[in-house]
Each structure stands twice: as C-alpha cells, then as structure tokens.
Amino acid sequence: MRSRREFLLASSLSVLHARELKADVAVIGGGTGGFAAAVAALRNGMRVVMTEETQWIGGQLTSQMVPPDEHPWIEQFGGTRLYRNYRDRIRAYYRDHYPLTPEARARWNLNPGDGNVSRITHEPHVSVAVLEAMLAPYISAGQLILLREFAPSKVDIANDRIRGVTVRSVRDAREKTITAPYFIDATEQGDLLEIGKIEHVTGFESQNETNEPHAPAKAQPANIQSFTVCFAVDYVAGEDHTIEKPREYAFWRDYVPAMKPAWPGKLLSWSMSDPISLKPRNVIFDPSVDNKPGGPLNLFIYRRIANKRNFAEGAYPGDISLINWPQNDYWLGNIHGGTPSEAGKHLERGKQLSLSLLYWMQTESPRPDGGAGWKGLRLRGDLAGTEDGLAMYPYIRESRRIQAEFTVLEQHVGTDARMQLTGKPRDEVTAEAFKDSVGVGSYRIDLHPSSGGDNYIDVSSLPFQIPLGALLPRRIENLLAGSKNLGVTHITNGCYRLHPVEWNIGEAAGAVAAEAVKTGHPPRKLRNDPKLLAALQTKLTAQGFELAWPKVTPR
C-alpha cells in the first residue's frame, strides 16, 4: 500500500502537465502573502496549487526588490514565528555562503546591507533562495504544485462560490484551470476581484463612507498610491557605467510635480517633501562614504542591500543600494483600474522614470564635493534577474480591496483618531481590539504621493491587530484575501501594506482555509461562532501567530 507521501507525489506528477488541477487550497499569486498562505496551508496537511506571475516567488521581497520595511520590535515580537524563521534563514544564508568578516559573522543581528530602512536589508536573490528552500520539501513530496509565470485570466463563479480559476502562461498563453474548495487571492493587485467581478474598492473612499479624518469629501476611486519600478546599483570608483540616455529623459529631468500641498521643485533633485511635515527636506547622495551621524540623510545608504565592509576585502567592488525613493515613485497614472493598454503605458513610463533617475545620477546630479554626476554607478540587472536591469515587477503599494465583512478604518488604528475617539492620552491609547484577531502588525500610516495629485499622508498609528473579518468578502463564500487586498481603506492600507503584515495576512488566510477544509465550517462561520473562533485562535497561537500586542509606544 502506498504511503500518503507516495500518493501525493504520484498525483502531482500526473497532473503537472494537465489542463485541470485540483487542490484543497488554491493560492493565486506567489508574492509575500501568497508564499506565507501556501506554507500555512501546507503545514496543515493541505494539497496546494500556487501560481506566480513572475519567475520569482516572494513579491515585494524579491521580484519587486524591496528590502523589508518593519516595525522596531520585529526581532522580539510583533510577527509570526514563520516570518521570524524566514529572517533567521536570511542571516544563516549569508553565514553559510558569503565571505563575511569575523565581526559581521559574530553579530547575532547581522544586517548585510546596514541600510537605514531595516534591520535586515539584503539582496533579493537571497530571499528567493531562502523562500525556495522553505517550499522544497513540499514540492518534493508532491504536496505543492507551483506554477511560475502564470497569471489569472478567468474566474468561474456560481451560487456565490468560485468553482474554478483559469490561469494563463505569460510566455506562451497555455491555460490551466484550478479547482479547489477554497481560493486565496494573493495577487499583487487583487486581480481575482476584477476578473471575477467580485465587489471591491479602489482608491480613496469618501469621508461620508468612512468618517475618517483624512478622507476627502467625495470618493476618488482612481486616486491610487504611486508605484515604483525599483532597481539596484553599486558604485565602482574610477569606472564609467553610464547607461544610454533614456528616451523620456528630457521630460523627467524638467518635471515639476503638481501636488497638493506643493512639492518643493523638480522631482529629480535632492530636495523633496518631508513625508510628515510636507516642508522641503534636503538630502544628499554620496556612494563614496559610509554613514555620517548627525548629517542629512544619505539616500545611497537608506536602502543599501550590501555593505562591502561586512565582507572579506575584495568580495564586493562597491556597496549595493536599492533605489526606491520619492524620485522614482510614479503617480501620473495607474496600473489597475483602467484598460490593459493604459496600464502598459503607465508601467513603461514608470520604467522610463527609473532609468531617467539613474542617468541623472550618473551625469547631472549635484555632488557634495561640488561636482556633478557619479559615472561609477552601475546598474545591477543581474541582481534583478532581468535584461533591462529593472525589477521584474513594480512595487505595488495599493491594491484593489475587497468589500469585506469588516473594514479597518483610521478610527481603529490612527493615533490621533483613537485619542479623539477614546479621550485617552497618547501614552495610554491603544488601537481597537478585534475579537476575531488572526495576527498583528505595526507601521505608520504611510501613504506615498498618489495619482490624484495628493502629496504624502503620513501620520502616527498604533500597533494593530488583523481581524479575520477583513479577509472575508461579503458575498463570495470560498475566497479569502491573502495580500494587500483585504478590507482596509485607502488610509489604513498605509499601515497594513508592509512586508511582515502582508506575510501575516497571507499566513492567516492559508491557516483559516485549511481549518475550513478540515472542519467543514466555512470561514464566515469560523469567525461568527464564538466556540469555533476560540478553537481557531488556539490553533493559530500554537502555530506561532501573535494575536495581541504588549504595551508599546505609538509610531
């Protein structure tokens, strides 16, 4: 008699090339949330099919090239056990495979890039290797079928249930149809919502709808946060790596954003709006020096992903920095909500902006020493895995969002809004407590400039919980949100969109879907039945989820 492992392997091999695939849980989108959703379902014994539009799983950690944006307590608490295991594996990968200096190797909290933005800035292909290794046992056992470079093209719905999702190869248009009791939309832009005509929201809700202090009087569905086409560069002194002049360079060199409140001048400059005060903020760019305490922010170090001083002499010709700044945020149009041709046009212009920023830095940007341009800046397309040197996929800050059983508002998590609502002082106020919590997160409400012409909206928020109701659509019974497409608003998306939060959203969706399969109780019943909810939360806690915060200071 065959073992379950042998059965799973034989089954996966027989269907891998088939047009129809069956699973217990189907995860559409293999980004940060999708990966975590798949692992959660897999460790709970589910057969999983996961798709990913690009060559790399991991989303914002990998194909979008964004080092983790995290809260200050992540090394101790405030994330899932699986997420912290991922972070430990990143450090272990560097210790196992890279020529670290003895000092760097000895640091328990090794930060390969020593970037300002995170305690674990690192190269995206390292995340790819770590995430692939975490999935490898399930692929070998036949429990997971991973379809790379497949995107959803059709959603079949009947009686408020998804019967199947058809995915199409981005290379040759081959199609496969996936059926499963439960589906998780972990696409970067909530694609199943649009394709399946599932009720959802885009852009800015009105104050009449949400009563949020920072919402506008009228809804603005096309007013969506900017996206960014990221890229990596190193600096090799004495060499000339100037790229060919981008065709839109003249436009972007002279472009002055029309923002409200006003932007302080040209986009391509070392002056920008301070995200919080919106006053002009001057920074510097100098790839030739390390951190200088007390001086202006050096953007080259801000998202540095490799500090050559952490490695043996000669291992790196120069530090490597990831370029994801206001200077290459694109807000002149959206890549969802319009036609495919409009989306393609704006994506291409976003790429032109990033290439123009690089060319400007190489040729014209003011240097602290009075010169102009850094010819030694070298585009590291090898680290992006692409021919054009840019990230495989744009960094998406704001997705389509489900009309959810419960929507998180600014009044639930914003510090000032909570103080006004509760009458408590800043050192006592906490975020709204959600009885259906399936995780936690923390980040400021950080909204980048948007396509409606709004400048930054960056306000303090409180460490918050992730309510299960925000993962559940109002109508569709067997779909869960597994990424930034959960029930949040344009405002609260600003604190629910970062890496460890998206991971927790996906991991919770995968665990809840597995519990629904095992028990026969749909997620809506798991949420609304107190006994079932308590049993679910006990299981989540045992699997390393944190469902509430200790007392910490607002950000």
Q: Which tens digits make up the pLDDT trace of 305-339?
A: 999 999 999 999 999 999 999 999 999 999 998 88
Indicate the domain borders of the chain.
Answer: 4-203+399-542, 227-384
pLDDT score recorded for residue 1? 45
Environment class of 266 (CB within 10 Å of its CB; exposed 0-12, middle 13-18, buried 19+): middle
Share of the chain above pLDDT 70, in %: 96
Mean pLDDT, rounded, for 454-482 = 97
Residue in the block written with tokens 């509430």: 548
CA 387 to CA 21: how far, in whole Å? 32
Supply 357's token pair. Answer: 């920023």
Residue in the block written with tokens 């695939």: 21
Q: Say which DSSP state 269 is in.
A: S
> How does DSSP assign 201-237, residue by residue?
E-SBPPHHHH--TTS-SS-BTT--B-EE--EEEEE-T
Q: Is the pLDDT of residue 4 over 60?
A: no
pLDDT score recorded for residue 527? 98
Task: Give the CB-side neighbour count of residue 471, counting CA atoms within 13 A.
Answer: 38
CATH architecture of 4-203+399-542: 3-Layer(bba) Sandwich (3.50)
Q: Which tens digits make up the pLDDT trace of 237-285?
A: 999 999 999 999 999 999 999 999 999 999 999 999 999 999 999 999 9
Q: Which tens digits make up the pLDDT trace of 104-113?
A: 999 999 999 9
Q: Is the pLDDT of residue 424 over 50?
A: yes
The pTM assigned to this predicted structure is 0.95
**Quick check: 257 and 449 in contact, CB under 8 A?**
yes
- Give me the amino acid identity at 474: R
